[in-house]
Structure formats: structure tokens, C-alpha cells
Amino acid sequence: MFEQAVTWLLFFSLFYLLITTVILIRNRAELTALRPKGSTASQNRKISVCIPARNEENNIGQLLDSLIKQTHSNFDIHLLDDQSTDNTYQIADEYREQYPEKVNLHSGKPKPDGWLGKPWACNQLGNLCDGELIVFLDADTLLGPAALEQISNSFDYDSTDMITVWPRQILGTFWEKSVIPLIYYALVTLLPAIYVYRKPRWMPAFAHSRFRHIFAAACGQCIAFRKDVYNEIGGHSSVKSEIVEDVELAKRIKRDGFTMRMYHGVGTVNCRMYRSEAEMFEGLRKNFLQGFKNSLPLFTLSALIHLIVFILPFITLVAALFYFNTIILYLSIASVGLILLHRLVLSGWFRWDPIYAFTHPIGVIWFQKLGLVKIVDYLFGRKSEWKGRKV
């Protein structure tokens, strides 16, 4: 009876992995890089780059260096120091003095009630800039020299109103290399990226008009809008209390009938999200449950599926070698093989060390630990702290 139950769970795991294999193959072709060529209009339009920065003294200089080197000439930078307690403002001020025609430095106003920190900072920036395109960057992002040019090209090439770029993540420590790729793994194996841009051909038009917002994803590390569209949807004031404000902006774009597209940033946009396991834990802790709309049943179901699909086959593979159950052995080999194949494809795509494809179960268990902490946070009303603020 026990072996029969395990066998059915392994069939479920394999079925799940086969479906996600199809999605991964589609995304490898359809989640493209930014467009390298564009019209004269795209080359000449003004871009306003907006950077909310709070306690970013270790990152802000590198980002500003990468912006100064852009091949697109018609742009300006608006950096808002969000009440930093380190040297962020002083470092940014040095760049303002050296490049006064490009760098505008602003001091953030106190956060009003009902606002979260990042939406409030971005809202101030959105009101300060005047570019035809507005590009929001996190302070830990780095741009290749042609990034702004290619962002502008992509708006015209794909006739879109909003774009978001999933940067190539720079991974340093063991835990970064084991955990961060799982975020991208979930993206490219669960959501066909082309559906963010256009209607699925299998979905009736009436259904798509009602549910199109479910095909929405975004990465706030690099997100851009046509300025008039940004204003029309209410900008960041429309998501002022949202922890995952980037995804909520994408949903608002879709609901209001505008278009958006996702791109990967390999070769163009890089980011180092975290520099230690502790920093990574707290950074992901603040919004992990919010990604499931604070639904404990959905959150728990997702955790259970991950244990069945990504942990069970590794356990049964070892067990089957000792107990010589042929069916369980073959199902386990097939599931583990697909998981590793997925991860190797992802590593090649985003130029990560392929050896860390084999730490996939470790990363999954790490997220299970984070999930348990978030459940306790939710049940006891505990708030996370990020950069000196309760979230």
C-alpha cells in the first residue's frame, strides 16, 4: 500500500515536470533579450532613469558608473535618497557635482501613513522626472553600455507600454548560487512569457478580457513605462501599500488594457540581490507570503507540491537502489533527470555555474524553512524588517 502511494506520487511528479518542460522550452525561445535595433525616434527620445536608494553605499557608485557610460545620449538620472543612514547621499552627491547635466539628486520626504517605503520613493521620482520613457532601477542593478538604447528600441519594436527585464543575477556565496536560481526556475517553468505580452490563442477573448491580469509578472529591479501610460494607471500611488508593487503594477497595466512584455537581461542588465545568506533570508522573507496573496492554504499547497516534485524523487531514488523496486527506481530517475536537465538549461541561459544545478533539493529545503518562518510570522502578526523599516 505504501509503495503504491509512493508510485502515484512519483507519477504526479513526472507529469508535473513534463508540463513544465514544455513551458521551459517555449520560454527559452520566447523570453528574448532586449531589442538591439530601433527607429530614429527610439534613439532620440528622452529617458528618465529613476533610482530609489536607501542605505545603498555599497552599490550606488557602481550603478551610476554604468549609467554614465550609456550609448543612449538623451537621458537624465533622478536619484532619491530615501532617508539613508549611511553614505548613500554623499556618494551620489559626488556624481551630481561631477555630472550636473545628467545626475539629479533628491532627498526623500517622510513616508505618509498607508504607504510602503519603496512605492513612496518611486512615486516621488515619478513626479519629478519628465522623460518620454521612465525607467525604474534598483540600486543594486548594473547596466551594460547599450541597455538604455535597447530598452528604448524594445518599446517600439514590440509596440508595448511597459517592459520589465529579469537581470542576470550575479551569484557569489554558496547560498546565493543554491537559492536565487530557484526564483528564475519558477518563472520560466510555470509562466509562458509570451502570455504576458499577448492573449493565449486557446483562451476565448471574453475570458481573456476578464482574466488577463493573471498573466502578469515583473521584476522591480528593472521596470520601464511610457510616461503617459504610467500616469494614466496612477503610477506607484496605485500600489502604495503593496509589498510586491512590481507585480501589482504589471497587473494594473493588463487590467487597464495596456500591453507589456518581459525580457531577460543576459548581456545587458545584471544585479547582485544579496551578499549573504542572512541578508537573503530577510530580503525574501518580507514578501514571500505576499506572492500567494497571504493565503495560507495556497501557500501550504505549493509547499506540499514542491516536496513531492523536487524532494521525493531524490529520496526514492536512493531508497529504490536498496529495495530494488523497478517502477519506483525508473520513475525516480526520470524525475531527477528532468529536474537536473531543467537546471542545466537555466544555468547555461543565465551563465551560472552548472555544478549548482545539483544543489536543487538544498535550495528547495531552504525555501521550505523560509515558508515555515513566514507562517509563524503570519499567525503571530510578526513583521519583517528590511533596511531599518518594518514591513
Which tens digits make up the pLDDT trace of 296-326? 999 999 999 999 999 999 999 998 888 878 9
* Cell numbers standing for residue 316: 526514492
Mean pLDDT estimate for the chain: 94
What whole-number percentage of the chain has pLDDT above 90? 85
Q: What's the confidence (pLDDT) of residue 376?
A: 92
Q: Which of 52, 44, 170, 64 is nearest to 121 (CA)?
A: 52
Q: Which sign does the torsion angle of CA 26, 186, 253, 40 carry? A: negative
Give Cα 341 to chain centroid, integer Å. 22
Q: In the predicted model, what is the mean pLDDT of residues 74-81?
A: 97
What's phi and psi for 104, nearest 5 deg? -115, 125
pLDDT at 284 over 90: yes
Tell me the one-letter amino acid at 49.
Answer: V
Facing residues of 78 across strands?
Answer: 50, 104
Compute the distance between CA of residue 249 and CA of residue 251 in angstroms, rounded to an integer: 5
Q: What's the confidence (pLDDT) of residue 257?
A: 93
In which residue are the cell numbers 525607467 written? 135
Q: Where are the domains of the chain?
A: 2-27+290-390, 31-167+219-275
Q: What is the pLDDT of residues 114-154, one digit of tens each?
A: 999 999 999 999 999 999 999 999 999 999 999 999 999 99
pLDDT band at 13 (very low <50, low <70, confident <90, very high): very high
Q: Which of 187, 190, 180 is nearest to 362 (CA)?
A: 180
Whether the CB-CB separation of 178 and 276 falls below 8 Å is answered with: no
Q: Which sign does the torsion angle of CA 384, 56, 249, 213 carry? A: negative
For the chain, the residue count is 391
In this structure, how many other beta carbons lie within 10 angstroms of the beta carbon of residue 37? 11
Q: Taking the model in full, what pTM does it have?
A: 0.94
Facing residues of 143 across strands?
Answer: 269
Relative orientation angle of helices 326-350 and 312-323, to the nearest 10 degrees: 140
For β-strands 269-271 and 260-264, DSSP reports them as: unpaired
Whether the CB-CB separation of 377 and 383 falls below 8 Å is answered with: yes
User: Domain 31-167+219-275 is in which class?
Assistant: alpha beta
